[in-house]
Structure 1
Amino acid sequence: FNSLLIKLAEEIRHHLAFKFLPCVDTSPLIDKEVCRLAGLGNYGKNSLLINDDKGSFIYLGYLLTDIETEADIPIEKDICGTCSICVKSCPNRAISERGGIDPKRCVSYLTQTKNYIPTDYREKMGRQIYGCDICQVVCPLNKDVLNKEAKEDYSDLLVDLKELLIMSNKAFMNKYGHRAGSWRGRNIWKRNALISIGNLNLASMFQDVKAELQNSSDMIKIYAAWSLLKINKPRARDILYENLKYENVDVKKEYLKLLEAEI
């Protein structure tokens, strides 16, 4: 998307000399607010910018320039009204009825954060490996822009959970490096895969998850333990009690917390 903005700027430069800075995601400005002030839409209750024609399934980007232009008029109308479908559909109740979002509860945020994820939040993450679009998919303002009859092959978007658990960093980047979410790295995806396996109760992957208890990452061990307990509580409990003697203080503390909660 950044390259498209540069291409646009170069086209304009054929007619007008000016300086520019393309802004996508990493700008010091707040992208949504810049676009709102430019009259491209207004915030929905889910805090996303919603455009009258394209809904919320849009990429936000802009050019900062030294060209003097006439200011656009921001859209101030309440675009949601009494609708609260996204509020009711959010799996972790992250969206407020009055509008706005608690980012710490948002499933999309949870799939990206490096911080500790509370056990009750893990269950709300379902089978999401990266991101969440539930509040967009259910939004009536997106009804006419969703292409439900698209002929594209979306199989490339599927993630092989078993493969992901044993992937090297190089293999991960080779397969998933072209995706927007790959910037978070293999271990975050792997953590999310362990949560997904537990939520899906994939008994066939019990041994694969158990192997992650030998991982060098304490984070991976902790989420593997949780996943094992979700799949088969009696077997997992015996394994975790046995492993307590080999773990450091932090991992041992987390194992005990999980075991006490499951007894």
Structure 2
Amino acid sequence: MTLDAPVRLGVQLQPQHATYPQIRDAVLRMEDLGVDIVFNWDHFFPLSGDRDGLHFEAWTMLGAWAEQTERVEFGTLVNCNSYRNADLQADMARTLDHISAKGGGAGRFIFGTGSGWFERDYDEYGYEFGTVGSRLNDLADALPRVRARWAKLNPAPTRDIPIMIGGKGEQKTLRIVAEHADIWHSFVPPAEIAHKLDVLRGWGERVGRDVSQITISNELARHRLDDDHADALHDAGVRLFTLGISGPAYDDAPVKHWLEWRDRKNG
């Protein structure tokens, strides 16, 4: 994969247990600190702590991020394909791309997406939960529609919007990654990455796509600063590292640690 690519750090500002001014301030801090990408997540309720605590919707928030930031890339880690029509997702993504283009440059939106999994979201907002397989089939059907809509929109996106796909399943997810992804994100431990990449290369051969330029993304330890684990992920080919932090405080300390580690890796 893209072993010569620089190491990048993405911070997921989980939009839970915080007021929006606290989230807004955290976005600005992340950009000022030098984070490469700022993510949120696409859920309707907190995933930890008080399950009925403060929470905000993802895509509306991204419009504000697109306007308030100047340099950092941004997106969802990851969008739930089930919640919005595929053509609408494409148009929303294109609009965020244009909002975030500053000074005549290209946009900064990353289209992170996945098939969905949090059943409470589906139940309370009236979506059909289906099965793991049906949701993955829906994702596979949606992505060609997203690309087709991007080709039709006026104005067109400012750049080829990067597609980031999350998941690790070998029969369906990695095939979708091979067909569509610029970035593959997972929580796979270092010892399993080589096998997953072999599977991904196999799917690339079947669908007729060179997958060697797909960026490999993985999650850093959430509750410990484990450089050895991060080093092992790097040795296995990971070049985008993500770190999730929750409100209300959005602690900068682990972010600063991993930024220093990133800079050492990049020399």
Q: What TM-score does the superposition give when structure 2 sets the normalisation length? A: 0.28
- Which structure: greater helix fraction? 1
State the structure with more CA Rg.
1
- Which structure: greater strand fraction? 2
